[in-house]
Amino acid sequence: MGTQAIELSATERRLLDVYQRGLPLDPRPFARVADALGVSEQTVLDGLTRLQQAGVISRVGPVFRPNRVGVSTLAALAVPSERLDEVARTVSGYAEVNHNYEREHDYNLWFVVTARDARGLAQVLASIAAETGLEPLDLPMLEDYFIDLGFELQWT
């Protein structure tokens, strides 16, 4: 959605492949990653910055089990196709939203919202509704299942 193709360096490809999970729990995790990849810590930081600025990745950070730190919900919007990129950018602009994705459905933009408490979560959803003019479908988790979201990337 709106991301242009960029040429990735070998180091950037390895960062995307190897560190989808298992980022070292260390005071200087990127130095440890750099050592493992045989490059400098600055090369790793520059690569991650470039990937984020290009829209290849949205963030680097921990993923906590839902509702263990604060509260979270899965939400969806029914977005007219001509507004999808605009609304996705708006939704991604919220610090409480860690990712969004398009689905083939009337509700075609899905995202996860995390907040400190239920009131904060409701405020984010209300703000998204006010800013986009679209009412989010709030789908709180009833039962959790662990799904490993890492996947092997295919480079052409």
Kindly report, residue by residue over 29-61, the tens digit of the pLDDT.
999 999 999 999 999 999 999 998 888 887 787
Same domain, 120 and 83: yes
* Cβ atoms of 129 and 90 closer than 8 Å: no
Same domain, 47 and 87: no
Same domain, 46 and 78: no
Alpha helices in the chain (DSSP H): 10-18, 29-37, 41-53, 84-92, 118-132
Instruction: Give the pLDDT score at 141.
Output: 81
> Count of domains in the chain?
2
Instruction: Give the pLDDT score at 94.
Output: 95
151 found inside a domain: no
Print the domain residue range for 100.
71-139
112 found inside a domain: yes
- Spans in the chain with pLDDT lower than 50: 1-2
Q: Which residues is 97 bridged to in the sheet? A: 113
102 found inside a domain: yes
Same domain, 49 and 77: no
* CATH code where residue 114 lies: 3.30.70.3460
Instruction: Give the pLDDT score at 1.
Output: 44
58 found inside a domain: no
62 found inside a domain: no
CA atoms within 13 A on the CB side of 111: 26
Same domain, 88 and 133: yes
Instruction: Report which of 143, 150, 99, 97 is spatially closest to residue 120, judged by C-alpha positions.
Output: 97
Same domain, 41 and 75: no
Same domain, 47 and 85: no
59 found inside a domain: no
77 found inside a domain: yes
Instruction: Report which of 14, 45, 26 is spatially closest to residue 153, judged by C-alpha positions.
Output: 14
Same domain, 49 and 16: yes
* Cβ atoms of 102 and 108 closer than 8 Å: yes
Same domain, 48 and 78: no
Distance in angstroms (rounded) separating the CA atoms of residues 101 and 66: 18
Same domain, 36 and 93: no
Distance in angstroms (rounded) separating the CA atoms of residues 90 and 125: 12
